Amino acid sequence: MQLWVLGVVAFLVLALYREWFNPALSFFIAVIALLLPEVITPAELLKGLSNQQIIIIFLLILVTAGIRMLVGSEFFSRLFNPSLRPRAFLLRMMLTVSSLSAFLNNTPIVAFMIPYVKEWADRSGNPASKFLIPLSFATILGGMITVIGTSTNLVLMGLISEYNLPLLGYRDFLFLGLLVTSIGLLYIYFVGYKLLPANEDKIDSMKQNLKEYIVETEIFEGSSLIGKTVKDAGLRNLQELFLVEIIRNDKVISPVSPEEKLFLHDLLFFSGNTQSIYNLINQDNGLRLPRQEKSDAGQSFNFVEAVIPAGSDLIGVRIKDSDFRNKFNASIVAVHRDGKRVSGKVGEMHIAGGDFMLLLSGSNYNPVRHEKDLFYISVPRKIETGKSIWKTWVGIESFVLLLAGITGLLPLFTSCLIILSFFVFFGILNLATIRQQLDLNLLMVLVCSLAIGMALEKSGTATLVAQGLISLGHSVGTIAVLTALFVVTILLTSLVTNPAAVAIMFPIAMSLSAQLQLSSTPFFVAIAFAASGDFMTPIGYQTNLMIYGPGGYTFKDFVRIGTPLTLLYTVICVGFIAWYYGL
């Protein structure tokens, strides 16, 4: 039975790392594999649905959405003075986002900030790649200051509550969180900034080399295409290219519907294999290259940058099968992955988490509507002015209630529920917004994470691994065992999602404390900080994945800047935990 459980966990790690399936589906398959041999029961699986900490995660997501609407864009406007020196901007930006991440979910903070950071970098003539990794790392570090700063902490609290063990208090996070955040930001400011690459902005590069991506054609007089729809003209399912935009007089049509009729002198823009476009023109089908430039394509196109988040339903789906154009009102011009443009036919590509896409978008796209599947990151929201006084008071009261929940003056569940009630009552959140923010994939991941942790504990697999760690560090002492636990967790979270890392390591930490006859608290604090300490790879933490493509980074960039920070982070965390808890 233990070998089976280890095999299931190994499959889960590999499936998440290789992105064989959507993360929620990977967790679901793993849980089914544990249900069939009755390692866990259906009742044990469904326990997660009634777990208070899981419900709190979703309440906090809604609270974060409401606070984002209350705060608005003007809160950040002072950060983006183009006259600031790069390091001054870097420090101000990191202090702001790390402070916010202590109280708000860090994923929406990064999603909100990327456009502003990119815009400031563009206006000031600095490469955005010097600031986007610090943006992600600062939110990760700041998220460890409180129990609500990252959902990983709340998943751990959910696991602890399942076994009726003492829950971690705000002091277990506060002091160590402030310490690692302060030292981490100093490292990034003095050392990390020098190690970061100065990459060229993808969208600027694309405009400078437009012919690599797009070829302009024209419907000439007497063409057989005049009056036909795009579909009837055979321009819908072309090999190695697709029709991304039509310009008719001064009107831009993008994305192009299959039922769109073609007219004389329409300019048709194709993206894909350049040779295939010229082959299409040579087929004598009524298209030709324009004799003179009739439009400035670089100015006419509505370019938008977007990135695929880790929990997107699009992961693993072939672009042709995703109904991308209709769903997002945009056409994919190019896909970048691991710092390089993905070659081949766009329609045949399978989408992966972290894919950075260059899109041609219609004017009525909604950046928030599809935020769970696709983050639009190229255009910052407009700065608002004249906020009403009652919104300010609601914001202040919400923050006070949130602080009361964190410090235990009020139950956190109650605090979040009251704040959410305020937001609904004052019209800050409506039913449509709430529906958009609720993520069933996340619910499946969290519930399945609890079930996997339970399976590891019930089957004795966790005890087996714990005994191995104790044997490894027995000759050196308890601190060596704690270090081994921390290092294994941090390596695991570099490959898979944070909930998966916490779920796998929780029963091992619990078994370690029991076998060593020590309090479980220091071991739980260790896996909490280790599971959120992914600085070496872009794939283990959502915010790293979000800035991976926009910054034009490679995997090596994360290794170069993240490895020294990880070593520093490990030494500080293990040393502080050993001292603070008297190990």
Rounded mean pLDDT of the chain?
81
pLDDT at 213: 57
- What tokens appear for 300 in the block? 């006419």
- Taking 70 as the threshold, does the pLDDT of residue 78 lie above it? no
pLDDT at 487: 92
pLDDT at 382: 47
Q: Bigger pLDDT: 95 or 74? A: 95
pLDDT at 509: 92
| pTM recorded for the entire structure | 0.79
Report pLDDT digits (tens) over 307-356: 888 777 788 888 878 878 777 777 777 788 876 777 666 677 888 888 88
Task: Give the gyration radius of the chain's Cα atoms.
Answer: 26
Report pLDDT digits (tens) over 103-112: 888 887 887 7
- Taking 90 as the threshold, does the pLDDT of residue 9 lie above it? no
**Residues in CB range of 447: below 8 A, 6 or more apart:** 45, 46, 48, 49, 51, 54
Cα-based angle 567, 477, 514 (whole degrees, multiple of 5): 100
Q: What is the mean pLDDT of residues 71-94?
A: 77
Count of CB atoms situated within 10 Å of the CB of 321: 9
pLDDT band at residue 239, thresholds of 50, 70 and 90? Answer: low
| 497 Ramachandran zone, left/alpha/beta (phi>0; psi -120 to 50) | beta
- Taking 90 as the threshold, does the pLDDT of residue 527 lie above it? yes
Residue (of 473, 573, 567, 572) closest to 523 by Cα position: 573
- Taking 60 as the threshold, does the pLDDT of residue 363 lie above it? no
Q: Bigger pLDDT: 153 or 17? A: 153
- Taking 60 as the threshold, does the pLDDT of residue 293 lie above it? no
Q: 48-62, 179-193, 237-251: lowest mean pLDDT where? A: 237-251
**Residues in CB range of 212: below 8 A, 6 or more apart:** 206, 274
d(CA 470, CA 488): 13
pLDDT at 385: 46
pLDDT band at residue 277, thresholds of 50, 70 and 90? Answer: low
Residue carrying structure tokens 């696991």: 159
d(CA 578, CA 521): 11
Report pLDDT digits (tens) over 64-75: 878 777 766 555
- Taking 50 as the threshold, does the pLDDT of residue 292 lie above it? no
- Is residue 206 within a helix (H) or strand (E), and if so which, with residue range? helix 202-208
pLDDT at 181: 97
- Taking 80 as the threshold, does the pLDDT of residue 201 lie above it? no
**Residues in CB range of 61: below 8 A, 6 or more apart:** 105, 437, 438, 439
Q: What is the mean pLDDT of residues 48-71?
A: 81
Q: Are 247 and 267 in contact (CB under 8 A)?
A: yes
pLDDT at 290: 66
- Percentage above 90 pLDDT, the chain: 21
- Is 349 strand, coil or helix? coil
Report pLDDT digits (tens) over 140-149: 999 999 988 8
